[in-house]
């Protein structure tokens, strides 16, 4: 339940002091270096755990990643995502009597009162307040039932095959479950939404709704214990089975670490171990550079280089490029004209973990169709239009001279005709 104002104020002051003292695609394939005989593989106490990168979703560590568990964090994250996708952060949310009477951890929202939507999203991400989640669900979906349908529809769109939601709060309910693999995909998608990422990366948020003052602090204490943490959330349905989600970034590599059903005394240290394992043994590197030539092909009478249009990055173990094989596919019967934005082939990199990175190949220059005789004539004329202008001017002068002579002759003839009369 919500703490008293005095208690919260004391905790908030301590948190503020601490803050200023401390410096600040789908997941597929097998686990990278996650085999039991890997001497660097950390041992974690959680029932399920996963470590991925935040761009490709490459799995760097996995433990029981497809085991279905009831995880409240997944519901709160999905609730926040669906709300941000379908509502405006400046909306005012009216709290119903049903939302105000929510079970579990609550912000003690007053029925009939209006609160800013963004503030309520902060409340569920940082503090897991259930009344805020219910109020947001009713506001966005029209009803809790319709909102839960929206949650499951998005889960299906994201390919979360082992995830099903029954409520927006994450309170225990039969038939509500997710897996570490699915939760990692959801987090990867969620942090790609700027509004969510901003809230998810916040340590604190000042709450002044309904006249009360509170500094809501993120429940993930790794914000203050592990340098480079830039996102986090915790949650649980049972005291002894905690879930923690943490993101951290070093040297351009942002990792997602998830522990599910972990003993509370272990989940912070185990998360640090996962993040240290990721940063110490893996690196973000350039797989393909922008403009890099892969193949040279002939199109008609022309030769053209096939290149990558951008830098492509990937994650690999330090000291190992991790590339198993490269296959090229070139389009057949390429016809002119060819533009620089036209995909003419693909390069498919197979990595040692069984995943693939497919890169589109583009021509390094445009190729035009062969000219007809008429087009050649027109182009030649246009290329030499200065000479044409000069010739035109000369012809005009000649024409004027000729006209002048004709006029003079006509005048003389007219005069002779007059004289004879």
What does the block give as tokens for 26? 């789908």
pLDDT at 420: 74
Cα–Cα distance list, 279 to 6, 28, 224, 237, 252 (Å)? 41, 21, 18, 31, 11
pLDDT tens sequence across 73-130 = 999 999 999 999 999 999 999 999 999 999 999 999 999 999 999 999 999 999 999 9
Whether residue 21 has pLDDT greater than 90 = no
What does the block give as tokens for 80? 């926040």
pLDDT at 8: 37
Q: Specify the range with the lowest mean pLDDT, choosing from 7-16, 52-61, 188-197, 311-320.
A: 7-16
Q: What is the mean pLDDT of the chain?
A: 88
Across the range 326-344, mean pLDDT stands at 94
pLDDT at 7: 38
- For the chain, the domains span 5-284, 289-363, 373-420
Q: Specify the range with the lowest mean pLDDT, choosing from 27-36, 297-306, 401-410.
A: 27-36
Q: What is the dihedral of CA 4, 5, 7, 13, to 10 degrees?
A: 160
C-alpha closest to that of 290 among 318, 313, 324: 313
| Fold: same for 5-284 and 289-363 | no
Cα–Cα distance list, 154 to 50, 150, 226 (Å)? 22, 6, 32
Give 10's pLDDT tier (boundaries 50, 70, 90). very low
pLDDT at 34: 47
Whether residue 421 has pLDDT greater than 80 = no
Give 372's pLDDT tier (boundaries 50, 70, 90). low
Q: Which residue has the higher pLDDT, 18 or 240?
A: 240
pLDDT at 412: 80
Give 13's pLDDT tier (boundaries 50, 70, 90). very low
- Type and span of the H or E element at 318: none
The domain at 5-284 falls in which architecture?
3-Layer(aba) Sandwich (3.40)
pLDDT tens sequence across 373-405 = 676 667 676 777 777 777 778 888 888 888 888
| Percent of the chain's residues with pLDDT above 90 | 72
> Residue 363 gets which letter from DSSP?
E
Across the range 176-182, mean pLDDT stands at 97
Which CATH number is correct for 289-363, 3.40.640.10, 2.60.410.10, 3.40.50.970, 3.40.50.2020?
2.60.410.10
Phi, psi of 255 (to 5 degrees): -110, 150
Q: Residue 309 and residue 343: Cα distance in Å, rounded?
A: 10
Burial state string for 207-243 with b = 16 or more CB within 10 A and e = fewer than 16: bebeeeebbbbbbbebbbebebbbbbbbbbbeeebbb
Whether residue 307 has pLDDT greater than 80 = yes
pTM: 0.78
- Cis, bond preceding 337 (omega within 30 deg of 0): yes
Across the range 240-250, mean pLDDT stands at 96
Q: Which residue has the higher pLDDT, 388 or 20?
A: 388
CA angle 82, 164, 80 (to 5 degrees): 20
């Amino acid at each position: 339940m919500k703490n008293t104002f005095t208690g919260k104020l004391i905790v908030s002051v301590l948190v503020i002091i601490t803050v200023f003292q401390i410096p600040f695609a789908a997941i597929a394939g097998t686990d990278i270096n996650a085999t039991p005989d890997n001497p660097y593989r950390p041992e974690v106490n959680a029932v399920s755990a996963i470590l991925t990168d935040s761009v490709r979703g490459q799995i760097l560590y996995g433990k029981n990643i497809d085991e279905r568990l009831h995880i409240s964090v997944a519901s709160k994250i999905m609730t926040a995502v669906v709300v941000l996708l379908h509502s405006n952060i400046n909306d005012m949310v009216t709290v119903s009597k049903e939302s105000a009477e929510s079970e579990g951890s609550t912000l003690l929202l007053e029925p009939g009162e209006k609160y800013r939507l963004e503030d309520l999203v902060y409340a569920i991400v940082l503090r897991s307040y259930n009344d805020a989640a219910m109020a947001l669900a009713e506001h966005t979906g029209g009803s809790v039932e319709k909102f839960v349908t929206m949650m499951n529809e998005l889960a299906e769109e994201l390919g979360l095959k082992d995830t099903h939601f029954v409520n927006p709060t994450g309170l225990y309910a039969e038939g509500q479950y997710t897996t570490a693999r699915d939760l990692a995909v959801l987090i990867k998608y969620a942090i790609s939404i700027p509004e969510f990422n901003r809230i998810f990366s916040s340590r604190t948020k000042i709450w002044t709704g309904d006249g009360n003052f509170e500094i809501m602090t993120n429940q993930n204490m790794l914000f203050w214990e592990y340098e480079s943490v830039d996102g986090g959330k915790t949650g649980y349905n049972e005291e002894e089975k905690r879930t923690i989600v943490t993101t951290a970034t070093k040297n351009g590599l942002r990792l997602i670490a998830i522990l599910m059903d972990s003993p509370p005394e272990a989940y912070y240290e185990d998360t640090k171990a996962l993040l240290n394992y990721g940063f110490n043994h893996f690196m973000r590197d350039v797989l393909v550079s922008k403009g890099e030539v892969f193949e040279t092909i002939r199109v008609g009478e022309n030769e053209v280089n096939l290149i990558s249009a951008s830098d492509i990055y990937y994650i690999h173990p330090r000291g190992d490029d991790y590339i198993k094989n490269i296959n090229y596919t070139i389009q057949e019967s390429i016809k002119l004209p060819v533009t620089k934005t036209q995909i003419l082939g693909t390069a498919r990199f197979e990595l040692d973990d069984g995943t693939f990175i497919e890169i589109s190949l583009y021509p390094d220059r445009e190729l035009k169709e062969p000219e007809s005789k008429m087009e050649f004539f027109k182009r030649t004329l246009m290329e030499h239009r200065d000479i044409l202008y000069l010739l035109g001017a000369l012809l005009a002068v000649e024409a004027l001279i000729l006209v002048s002579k004709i006029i003079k002759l006509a005048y003389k003839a007219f005069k002779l005709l007059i004289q004879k009369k």
